[in-house]
Amino acid sequence: MKVTNITWRIGGEAGCGIPAAGNIFSRTFSKKGYSVIDHIEYPLLVKGGHSTYISRLNSGEIFSLNRDINILAALDQRTIEMHQDEVIFSGYVIYDGEKYRLKDKVNIRKDINYISVPFQRITAEQGLLNIMISNIALGASLALIDYNVDNAVDTVKDVLSGRERETIEMNSRALEFGYKYIREKLKIKAYELEIVKPDAKLLVTGNDAVFLAGVRSGCKFYAECPAPQSYPIHDSFAAVEDDFNIVARNSEDEIEALNMAIGASFAGVRTMVTTSGAGFSLMGEGLGCAAITETPVVIVLLQRPAPAAGLPTWTEQGDMLFSLYASNGEFPRVVIAPGDPEECFYLTGRAFSIAEKYQIPVIIILDKYLSESHFTFAKFDMKKIKADRESIYLSDRDITGDYFRYNDTGNGISPRPVAGLKKGMHIANSEEHDRYGFSEEDAHNRKRMADKRFRKVGGLLEEIQPPVRYGPVNADMTIWGWGSSKGPVLEAIRILNSQEKKVNFIHFTYLYPFDREIVEKYINESSKNVIVENNKTAQLSKLIALYTGYRIGNKILKYSGRQFLPEEIVESIEKIE
């Protein structure tokens, strides 16, 4: 059967090589020009517990994963029990029939095909490691798609480059044995994937994009306290420390991480910190310190279900309002929520420029789904991100006349020097201060300094991107969302509009400052509105109501720790009268 779309899921116990097999599958097809989106789900366990990797590939453009699976590669019985209901009519389940008999273990479906591949016997007979059953299952899956296994073997060599030759050969052989078992012994060909132009695409996660933009933006100091979602960013920075003269610090706690970043920024370099919601809670005091001393810093907040530790390896959009109002008192900040890795790249570049120009903290909100899922894109345009230094004195030659660090300027921005300039000597004081930086409790000075800091908001509103509308202007229904809901909603409105329903989508990337005028314009042009959010309390709806007084009554919310799928949004939309 010729197809344009394949969704594949592999599952088993954590520690069975599932992430590597999933990565090889996705990269094999992205290198050949297919659009790919994938996602990994794993427990907070090094070994044991259920782990799964899902990858969707398509010959055309796609925006998100979908619900229906064509092929389920089950390395254990639990995977079949948990995921076989997702398999489409006449789909396929690959399992080890010599390890257990299905009809004795699970409720089998008569409308799908169960294919037994002896994973354990193949590893034993061929002298392979047991962990390589994931690659045997991958090879069998490629045979069902009728895809050239040599392309996957080439990917193995790329992914494992630098590893021992024997390791690469064993992984390659595991792939080939799984492939040959289906093609030569069982002689099954399930799908014929539509051929596309062999134009390699960039396959990146949100984390990858943030890292790339950080390096391109001239970030010279990076700090984190380890959290599962931020490991890849730290590892990437650590790998290029010597190449780009970067300090990558794995700190003892989140308080230390942010305070070190503030100190490095005070010294004159661009800085970034990554954290989870729980860690961001500890950064409140440091956040306020950066604000009142007007010290730029970029903070990447990787959301996950909360409160407390919550579900550390799952996804949610529960920290938006928290990020807008974290720390004590009132001060300007920018809060950015990219919707995909491409936006992660370009908006992270903007975050560094905004933080330095306006001398404020900038918070970038991701979530586990966006930070760890791979998406295909054309290559990023590196030239669109520049490490130009704004509102900073880099040498004494830049400073003329008397210098006042917190001078009350028309736009609220007072040029700052890097530490150590003779003409730029000043006090950086975390108490309210005068224009020199000396502590000052005078009522008039307090009002003047607060007004000065908030005067920056006017400039920010002129240069940040307003919410973007996707789909027809004159729609019967408007969906509102932010951050990583972008992909599933775009996929959903494509389905709905193909059914002759007129639906559009308003997507927020900048959450603060809030562009009230454009939002009110969109509200006035919308006849029926629906909020789609990965949280319990519809936080974007609350934010819109706070600034406009308009309350969006229709809400589609998901807070199970799992990301939205477009089919869920379509089904919910169809129930709204």
Any idea which residue has 């020009």 for tokens?
Answer: 33
Strands (E), 403-464: 416-417
Residue 454 CB coordination number (10 Å): 13
Please give the single-letter amino acid code of residue 205: T
Task: Note whether 476 and 502 are within 8 A (CB).
Answer: yes
The closest of 355, 224, 236 to 300, measured between CA atoms, is 224
Distance of alpha carbon 202 from alpha carbon 208, whole angstroms? 11
Residue 291: CA atoms inside 13 Å, Cβ hemisphere, count? 24
**Preceding peptide of 228 cis, ω within 30°:** no
Task: Note whether 459 and 358 are within 8 A (CB).
Answer: yes
pLDDT, residue 198, reads 86
Distance of alpha carbon 97 from alpha carbon 19, whole angstroms? 23
pLDDT, residue 528, reads 95
pLDDT, residue 101, reads 81
**Strands 35-41 and 374-377: what pairing?**
antiparallel
pLDDT, residue 45, reads 75
pTM for this predicted structure: 0.96
Burial class (CB in 10 A: 0-12, 13-18, 19+), 351: buried
Domain architecture of the chain: domains with CATH: 2-200 (3.40.920.10), 204-384 (3.40.50.970), 392-461 (no CATH), 468-575 (3.40.50.920)
**Strands 69-74 and 192-193: what pairing?**
unpaired
pLDDT tens sequence for the chain (577 residues): 899 999 999 999 988 899 999 999 999 999 999 999 999 999 887 677 899 999 999 999 999 999 999 999 999 999 999 999 999 999 999 999 998 888 776 788 999 999 999 999 999 999 999 999 999 999 999 999 999 999 999 999 998 888 888 999 999 999 999 999 999 999 998 999 999 988 889 999 999 999 999 999 999 999 998 777 788 999 999 999 999 999 999 999 999 999 999 999 999 999 999 999 999 999 999 999 999 999 999 999 999 999 998 999 999 999 999 999 999 999 999 999 999 999 999 999 999 999 999 999 999 999 999 999 999 998 999 999 988 887 898 899 989 888 999 999 999 999 899 999 999 999 898 999 999 999 999 999 999 999 999 999 999 999 999 999 999 999 999 999 999 999 999 999 999 999 988 999 999 999 999 999 999 999 999 989 999 999 999 999 999 999 999 999 999 999 999 999 999 999 999 999 7
Task: Note whether 559 and 318 are within 8 A (CB).
Answer: yes
